[in-house]
Amino acid sequence: MPVISATAVLLTLGLWALAAPAPVPAPAFVAADGIIPGEYIISLKPGLARSQIESHLSRAASVHTRRRRDTTPAGGISKTFSIGAFNAYAGSFDEATLAEILSGDVEGAVASVEPNRLVEIDALVTQDAAPWGLASLSSLNQLSSSSDGQPYTYDDSAGEGSFAYIVDTGVQVYHPDFAGHAVKGYSSQPDEEFDDFAGHGTHVAGTVGSQTYGVAKKATVVDVKVLAGLGTGSVATVLDGYNWAVNNITDTPGRLAKSVISMSLGFPVSTTASALDEAVNAAYDLGVPTVVSAGNLNQDASRRSPARAARAFTVAAADWNRTRAFFSNFGSLVEVFAPGVEVRSLGLDNGTTVYSGTSQAVPHVTGLIAYLRGKEEDLSTPDEVFARVRELSVEGVVRDPQGTANLLAFNGAVSS
């Protein structure tokens, strides 16, 4: 019988100071560690034929239907996910139903089972301070301060023709500073209006591609809403949106070599595998790069998913003084540092706001990748994209890296 994993998901937001509508209620009876009782994500083994996958799903649905007539009120399979070699499904099952599904797995199709958990975003407190991140991204030298008005130098292609998928709380795509370059893609939160009520996703998207605060000002921002209210969601809702984003990229002609996915979110993990890690790895194998946040707990990033995913591009936060942010996670799995302290970007209701967090570092790199993919022709694979970001980065200037590769993101627009 497959081992039932204790892997969990808690994707951390920290935007509670925002003035916003009341959050969508979390599922009832959520455990202190974020586990949603009775909800599971079941990952299937790579290499299964489509007929084997469909046979397993059909049998699981049949077991649930039969047991529901007898004893259980649980809802059964709710979503299926397919990204290259990665196949999984989410659902609500009582323990007896889950046990029967696993014991009847005569084909050995199941790779792992993990509980579904709450997810939040990786941002910290709101601070009323001026932006500086764009200037840092185009400067080989340390900035003199975090004040406004410092120059940001970039090629006028500005990410034109590229696409950045923002997997987050939603994006207020009608914000005038997007100038029509932001579009709605998909929401895995059908019980809430397709909008952003937290401000986090809009802030992230603004750093990627808005006119005033964006790294890639001509890129198209695609809204993929996976968290509701002030940031309530689960691994299953994140997987649902991420699954849509990857398949939209791979199924749309001409888009694969021009796209990047941003996920400023994460959750604590044990030593076992996570379905979200495997999804990110599978997307990479299909040619889709994903940029993720290292996390805000001042600990090794290997303790969070998807920061620890082997094929993710994990980003830590630095301040204007080129010092690792006191909250930023670190370690050998982190690829690069980027601005993540007192970052001004777009806010709710056509406004702006300032946030700190590895959530803010991620869109600087997401925007940089969109910028480079719009400007350079030889970045068709994630390997080439990630290598180019590392190649351009300023080396050895970040203070207190804590065992992290000492690279600070840079766009290569100036030579001195």
Q: Which residues are catalytic?
A: 168, 200, 359
Contact present, 139 and 31 (Cβ < 8 Å):
no
Give buried/exposed letters for 136-151 (b at 16+ CB in 10 A, else e).
bbbbeeebeebeeebe
**CA contacts within 13 A on the Cβ side of 195:** 12
- What are the φ and ψ backbone dihedral angles of 389, each rounded to 5 degrees? -60, -45
- Say how far apart CA 416 and CA 405 lie, in whole Å: 23
Calculate the alpha carbon distances from 117 to 7, 39, 194, 331 in Å.
9, 8, 22, 25
* Lookup: tokens for 162: 């590229």
248: amino acid identity, one letter: N
Give buried/exposed letters for 75-91 (b at 16+ CB in 10 A, else e).
ebbeebbbbbebbbbbb
- Say how far apart CA 116 and CA 126 lie, in whole Å: 29
Q: What is the DSSP string of 68-125?
A: HHHT----EEEEEEEETTEEEEEEE--HHHHHHHHHT-TT--EEEEEEEEEEEE----
Measured from the Cβ of residue 313, the count of other Cβ atoms closer than 10 Å reads 25
Q: Spell out the residues 6+ positions from residue 18 whose beta carbon is closer than 8 angstroms to its own.
A: 126, 198, 199, 230, 348, 353
Contact present, 151 and 208 (Cβ < 8 Å):
no
Q: Give me the residue label for tokens 């009608």.
A: 174
- Say how far apart CA 352 and CA 55 lie, in whole Å: 51
Give buried/exposed letters for 262-287 (b at 16+ CB in 10 A, else e).
bbbbbbbbeeebbbbbbbbbbbbebb
Gyration radius of the chain over CA positions: 21
